[in-house]
Every structure is written in C-alpha cells, then in structure tokens.
Amino acid sequence: MKFNIALLAGDGIGPEVIEQAVKVSDAVAAKFGHEITWKPALTGAAAIDAVGEPYPDETHDICIASDAVLFGAIGHPRFDNDPSAKVRPEQGLLKMRKKLGLFANVRPTFTFPSLLDKSPLKKERIEGTDLVFLRELTGGIYFGEKGRRDGGETAFDNCVYTRVEVQRLAKKGFELAMTRSKKLCCVDKANVMETSRLWRETVQAMEKEYPEVVVSYEFVDAVAMRLVQWPNSYDVLITENLFGDILTDEASVISGSMGLMPSASMGTDIALFEPIHGSYPQATGLNIANPMATVLSAAMMFETAFNLHEEGKAIRDAVNKALAEGIVTEDLADGGKAYGTKEVGDWLAANI
Ligand code: IPM
Ligand code: MN
C-alpha cells in the first residue's frame, strides 16, 4: 500500500522522537512492501517562530490531504513563563484537534512484563493491567469561554458539553468495550457538576443499545484513587477532556514510564497519533528522550488508521524485545547502561 503521512514534529524532544518513529515505520514499510511519503509540516513554537502561528493553514492543508498524522510534542518554556504571551504553542494543538475534528483520544495503559519492577507501584497490583481511556478531546473546559473580569482580578473558564458531543464519544466507548471485556466505566463528577450530570444521563440512556456491556458510573476523585490501587479492575473508561488529561498522566505511571505510552486521536475523518508525553524541554537535543511512546504511536497508526495488524505487531515485538534486553533510555535504565534516543531507534529499526 501507499500512504501519505503528515509529520508534525513540533517542539522540544518532538523532532528527536519523531525521527526514530520515522526510521522504524520505514523499516516496517520496507519489510511489508509499503511505500510511505512523509509530509513534514510546522506546529507549535517552531511554527510561531517561522510564521507567527502555532497551527498554520498550510499545516492544516497538509494534514487533511494525508492518510494519517504523526505528531511529536508541543510546548516551550519561553511561553510557560510568560502569562502575557499572546500566542502559545498549545493553542496550536487545541486548534489542530478542533479543526481536524479529533473528538476521541484513545489512551491505552498496559504493562510490559520486563518492566513490572520499574513501576513505583507494587508488582502484584499492576500485573496484567490493560485498560483504555477514551478522553473527549474537543469540548469541555478546554474550549469553553474563558477570560478575566473585574479589571483582571477574576478569571473564569467555562465547561460546556452538548448531548451530541457526549453521545459520539460514549458510542466509541461502548463499541470498544464490545471488542474487549464488555466493561465500561463512565468517569464524572455528577455529584457536583452539571456537565457531568448530562454525561451520566446520556450514557445511561445509551445502555439499552448495548445490553451486553456492564457500565459503572464513578466519580473522578474515586477513580484517581482506585486507578493506582486496583488498575486491574478497569477496562474501558470514558471521560471528559480535563479529567482525561489528568487521569491518563496518572495511569502512565502504571506502565513504568511516561515515555512509553502512545495515543490515537480519532475523528470523523482523519486520525492523529502522538505520544502522551509533552515536549520535555530540558532534554531537547540531548539524545536522552525515550522514543518508544512515539514508536508505539506509529504502531497504533498502522493498526488503527491502515488496519495493518501484522505491521503494528512487528513494532510492538521490537519494543518488547528492546525492553527485555535493556536497550533503553535513561528513564528506564535504573542504574544500568542507558542508550541514546537515536541508538534505541536504530536498534528498533534493525530489529523489525
Ligand atoms: C496532552 C497535553 C495537552 C493537553 C497540553 C499540551 C495542551 O497535556 O495532550 O495531554 O492538555 O491536552
Ligand atoms: Mn496531558
């Protein structure tokens, strides 16, 4: 098959980890007889510097003309420490999600047998964890009206959801649950928030369409606690944008490193694949960042966007082998030998 893939490296360690994912994807393409044409485009601080806009129209045009988007990371400390900055790299990420209609962010959390001892959580608690968060990505507090009043002394961020937004995300959750253990957890704060009550009411009304799925409704604070106590008790979790942002960072601890967790963002049309970690500015250019989350995002791309499961498995197998043999970056080296970002990428490509 022939694919055009938009390549948005972004900021910080983005370009370094993306380079490894490209290398590994090209190795997969060579092995299975596919042809990938990469279409690089600007995003984030890099795009602000070049054209004054974190998600330029040219980048959007390249994305919609492609078969999938592979994304690195966005964010630069120059903007974090300047609350008055007019344009911020993160705005590019949000604009991109909105304009590409990427409403469902799929964030799996699984454990790697060779890393069970690396997690700060007890091995017997996390063994066998295999759960998926479906985080709503284009609504909620991220996109509600925000601003200041009272001469800047009061600030507000509105959280808004429509029933349709909840339904389309929940539908994906029910469908995913049907392909797994038929267990779905709706995470909300329905004891306090009106948007959460709309979520709960909407999901409850959909239950009859999926009689085999057992749905539980849990408050986000309780989930935050149970997630690290009994991660094994969860399978598919659906939640709104901000809760999903926070809980998926928490869940990444289960796997042993944030540098391992991939994600897919699906919409009506195109899908985007990106690691869940950020731009890790302190590590930029040092060849120390873990490329595996981005490499595994490429595996999700082969599987979900192109329906090529053997190709995805080839990548997963190479990553598992690297972890088992200790071909890892410093976040996982645990006092042992740490390999560079590039060396891990080379090893993975050679082992496809
Ligand atoms: C993520 C990130 C983003 C988010 C930031 C960079 C805006 O943390 O993808 O989880 O909050 O969605
Ligand atoms: Mn986040």
Predicted confidence at residue 297, as pLDDT, reads 98
Number of domains in the chain: 2
Residues 215 and 265 in one domain: no
Mutate to test the pocket of ligand 1, among 74, 109, 245 (most ligand atoms within 8 A of CB): 245
Average pLDDT across the chain, whole number: 96
Q: Cα 48 from chain centroid?
A: 23
Residues 153 and 221 in one domain: yes
**How crowded is residue 85: how many other Cβ atoms within 10 Å of its Cβ?**
14
Quick one: average pLDDT of 213-221? Answer: 98
**Which ligand sits closest to the CA of 250?**
2
> Which of 323, 335, 31 is closest to 344 using CA atoms?
323
Residues 248 and 263 in one domain: no
Residues 208 and 280 in one domain: no
Is the predicted pLDDT of residue 311 greater than 90, yes or no? yes
The domain that contains 351 carries what CATH number?
3.40.718.10
Distance from the CA of 20 to the center of ligand 1, in angstroms? 22
E strand or H helix that includes residue 103: none
Predicted confidence at residue 79, as pLDDT, reads 87
Annotated catalytic residue within 245, 280, 331, 339 = 245
Predicted confidence at residue 224, as pLDDT, reads 98
Predicted confidence at residue 93, as pLDDT, reads 93
Predicted confidence at residue 209, as pLDDT, reads 98
Of 225, 255, 285, the residue at which a domain comes to its end is 255
Q: Which residues of 237-262 are buried (b: 16+ CB within 10 A; e: fewer)?
A: bbbbbbbbbebbeebbbbbbbbbbbb
Residues 127 and 151 in one domain: yes
Active site residue 161: no
Give the C-alpha separation, 73 to 224, whole Å.
25
Atom 7 of ligand 1, residue of closest alpha carbon: 90
Predicted confidence at residue 117, as pLDDT, reads 84
Residues 245 and 263 in one domain: no
Q: Directed axis angle between helix 14-32 and helix 309-325, to 10°?
A: 120
Mutate to test the pocket of ligand 1, among 69, 76, 87, 93 (most ligand atoms within 8 A of CB): 93
Predicted confidence at residue 28, as pLDDT, reads 98
Residues 208 and 142 in one domain: yes
Residues 125 and 249 in one domain: yes
Annotated catalytic residue within 57, 61, 80, 221 = 221
> How confident is the model over 150-178, as pLDDT tens digits?
999 999 999 999 999 999 999 999 999 99
Cβ proximity of 176 and 236 under 8 Å: yes
Q: Is residue 115 part of a domain?
A: no
Annotated catalytic residue within 171, 249, 321, 346 = 249
The model carries a pTM of 0.93
Of 255, 273, 289, the residue at which a domain comes to its end is 255
Confidence of residue 86 (pLDDT cuts 50, 70, 90): confident
Is the predicted pLDDT of residue 282 greater than 90, yes or no? yes
Per mean pLDDT, which range of 37-51, 217-231, 248-262, 307-321 is the poorest?
Answer: 248-262
Residues 273 and 231 in one domain: no
> How confident is the model over 322-332, as pLDDT tens digits?
999 999 999 99
* Pocket lined around ligand 1, Cβ cut-off 6 Å: 74-75, 90, 93, 245, 276, 278
DSSP string, 305-329: IT--HHHHHHHHHHHHHHHHHT---
Residues 282 and 245 in one domain: no
Active site residue 313: no
What are the CA-CA distances from residue 87 to residues 10, 78, 84, 314 (Å)? 15, 11, 9, 40
Q: Is residue 279 part of a domain?
A: yes
Residues 219 and 286 in one domain: no
What are the CA-CA distances from residue 10 to residues 48, 139, 284 (Å)? 11, 23, 12
Kind of pairing, strands 130-136 and 104-110? Answer: antiparallel
Q: Which domain holds residue 26?
A: 1-110+258-352
Q: Is residue 54 part of a domain?
A: yes
Predicted confidence at residue 329, as pLDDT, reads 97
Q: Where are the alpha helices (DSSP H) in 180-308?
A: 194-206, 220-229, 241-255, 292-300
Residues 263 and 248 in one domain: no
Confidence of residue 137 (pLDDT cuts 50, 70, 90): very high
Of 255, 272, 291, the residue at which a domain comes to its end is 255
